[in-house]
Structure 1
Amino acid sequence: MHVAILAGGRGMRLRPYTTALPKPLMPIGGEYAIIDIILQQLRAQGFRRVTLAVGHLSALIRAFVGDGARWGITADYAEEDQPLSTIGPLFNFLDRLPEHFLVMNGDILTDLNYASLLRGHERSGAPLTIASYQRKVKIDFGTLETIGDRLVRFSEKPTLSYGVNMGVYAISGRTLARYPKNTPLGFDQLVLDLLACGDEPRVYDFGGYWVDIGCPDDYEEANRSFEQMRSTLLPTITAAEEVIA
């Protein structure tokens, strides 16, 4: 039960907040850093080891998380000397990871069952399992569908729904073994490489709560909704800690 947390990004879309703080340390509800919530959830679900891929303002993350003892987790680090995108950092510490492991961004707030995602991936035999969330997008214009120059369908300000990558996935070591260390690689390119060779990823549909704090609007939404979602995000943590104690 090992998780790699991608925590090295510069958070350009979240500036000016991220000028002083890396995204995983952004405060939620005036009480927690988002990485605190994530580590509490992981510990409650049975994860015991975490490797944090760090870069931007890494000293602050190291100082906050330390060796992970505060959460009952063993934490270690992989430092990015150069930008390696979203998958590239994993190549440099693949030898520390088991055959099947969880990967997630360090800036999401969700009640996803991470352990269930990983167990399902192990059973599936897929190279990669992507947690998927249905995101609705309101179009502020009337949309036109045409064939040639003829209009065949019109919709007034429709709401479209898309399955989007939540920034949480389970990977098997064999999937990454083909790539050398220090190779910049984005998640998008990994998926395209797998599709090109016929090794199709699996999708894990999730219908609960999910917010990616990568932009100011979503960060503010996470803070607005935290009190309402507190009992969804935190009660299992309290119960698990009581059993352990």
Structure 2
Amino acid sequence: MTSEFSTSLDVVLMVGGEGARLRPLTNNCPKPMLEVGGIPIVERLLQNLIAVGFERVCFAVYYKAEVIENYFGDGSRWGIAIEYLREETRMGTAGALALLRDKIDKPVLVMNGDLVTEANFPKILEHHMQCKAVATMCAVPFEITAPYGIVELEGSFLSSVREKPLLSAFANAGIYVVSHEAIEIIPTGKPYDMPQLFEQLISNKEKVGAYVINERWSDVGDLSELERVQNEFAVKSRSLRDAKLSIL
């Protein structure tokens, strides 16, 4: 892997995934470059970061890296500095961060590049600092209807029956804040994922933060979700157009 960084890196966007569940759309296009609302998913993320004052972003690239690099270049078109961390082999969602070990001395925001979200990034960083955590994982609340009736047992006896109940939980949002101390434990030169990092930090009794995102959030990981999000933005676009026409 190769990299060139300044010490003022603010954000790392993980954009190297192959997007297997989105084929054939990703046969010649990396997943973060698929369009939602007329622009690539990762460009929408970048615009949100710029809007709240981030100035230096790193793209961790692998699959179809040249498509992303040719489109974004050095970031000057957007008024932001973009650098690239190039993976020669797939390193997972955290493995590439090992290259940052000696490059930064402050917490860095790390995100999957296939997210469509209105999360408040400054608040996430502020929460991380207030918690004095070595790493923070963002979570999103979700509900799912159980496909079966759920029963609860007390020994050999049945205590309750719920027919296909609505279950609530929190999911990993794919947005993290990682400190230098957390990056230190990432192994060099082998695949390593974010859940592994957080499991290791918890096992080490480190202080690990959690931040709940209540704003708009979608992980565009498969064709059905991509279609749903594209339709959502198409409806918004038509509503805005109709509103403008009604004013004329």
Q: Same fold (TM over 0.5)?
A: yes
Indicate the larger mover: 119-128 or 53-62.
119-128
Q: In 2, distance between residues paired with 1:107 and 1:212?
A: 6
Letter of the structure 2 residue corresponding to residue 20 of structure 1: N
Deviation at 1:159, TM superposition (A): 1.2
2:146 aligned with 1:139, yes or no? yes
Amino acid at match of 1:23: K
**Per-residue deviation at 1:146?**
2.1
1:116 to 120, 123, 126: 123
Corresponding residue for 1:154?
Answer: 161
Is 2:13–2:111's contact at 8 Å kept on the other side of the alignment?
A: yes
Query: What is the root-mean-square deviation in Å for CA atoms of aligned residues?
Result: 1.6
- 1:8-55 per-residue CA deviation (whole Å, 9 max, x = no partner) reads 1111222222112111101102x1111111111000111000011100
Q: List runs of 5+ in structure 1 lacking aligned partners.
A: 231-245
Equivalent pairs, count: 229
User: Of the candidates 200, 217, 225, which is equivalent to residue 224 of structure 2?
Assistant: 217
Structure 1 segment 2-17 matched on structure 2, within 5 A: 2-17=10-25
Gaps of 5+ in 2: 1-8, 238-248
Q: Distance in 1 between matches of 2:155 and 2:212?
A: 36
Deviation at 1:120, TM superposition (A): 2.0
Offset at residue 4 of structure 1 (A): 0.3
Question: If the length of structure 2 is used for normalisation, what is the TM-score?
Answer: 0.87
Write the distance in 1 (CA, Å) between the matches of 2:85 and 2:15.
10
How far off its partner does 1:183 sit? Answer: 3.0
**Map of 1:83 onto structure 2:** 90
Are 1:2 and 1:97, in contact at CA under 8 Å, matched by a contact in 2? no
2:173 matched residue in structure 1: 166
Q: Which residue of 2 aligns with 1:240?
A: none
The 5 Å alignment of 1:1-245 reads 2-29=10-37, 31-227=38-234
Summarize the Cα distance change of 1:28–1:134 in structure 2 as closer, same or farther, 3 Å threshold: same
CA distance in 1 between partners of 2:90 and 2:191 (Å): 7
Deviates most, 200-209 or 99-108: 200-209
Change (3 A) 1:124 1:229: farther
Q: Name which one, 1 or 2, has greater alpha-carbon Rg.
A: 2
Tell whether the 8 Å contact from 1:2 to 1:98 is kept in structure 2 after alignment.
Answer: no
Change (3 A) 1:75 1:94: farther
> Would the aligned equivalents of 1:92 and 1:182 in 2 still touch at CA under 8 Å?
no
CA distance in structure 2 between the partners assigned to 1:94 and 1:18 by the alignment: 31
CA contact (8 A) 2:55 2:81 kept: yes
Distance 2:141 2:26 in 1: 27
Runs of 4+ in 1 over 4 A off after TM superposition: 227-230
